[in-house]
Structure 1
C-alpha cells in the first residue's frame, strides 16, 4: 500500500534534523521510501559557503 506524505510532517522532520547525523538518517529514510522515478527527479540544494571547499 502506498501512502502519500503530507508536507507538514515532512517539513517538521526536516526542521528537526539539525545535526549531520540526523540529516543523513532523514536522507537515507527518504531515499529508501522513494520510488526510482522520484529519486531520479530529486534536485539537491546548492552547497552553502560553510560546506563549499
Structure 2
C-alpha cells in the first residue's frame, strides 16, 4: 500500500478547483485493504465494541 500524502488546508487553498477535486478523489478508500494501519484496526475494534453493546441493549 502506498503512503498517502497529507494535504493541508493551506495546500488546498493554493490548488485550482480541478487539483482539489483530484486530491479528494485520490484520497478516497474503496476497500478496507486501502485503509492504513493502525486506523483500520481502531475502526474495526470500535465496530466490534459497538456491536456488542447493541447486542446487549446498552
**So what's the TM-score if we normalise by structure 2?**
0.30
Higher radius of gyration, 1 or 2: 2
Normalised to the residue count of structure 1, the TM-score between the two structures is 0.32
Decide which structure has greater helix share: 2
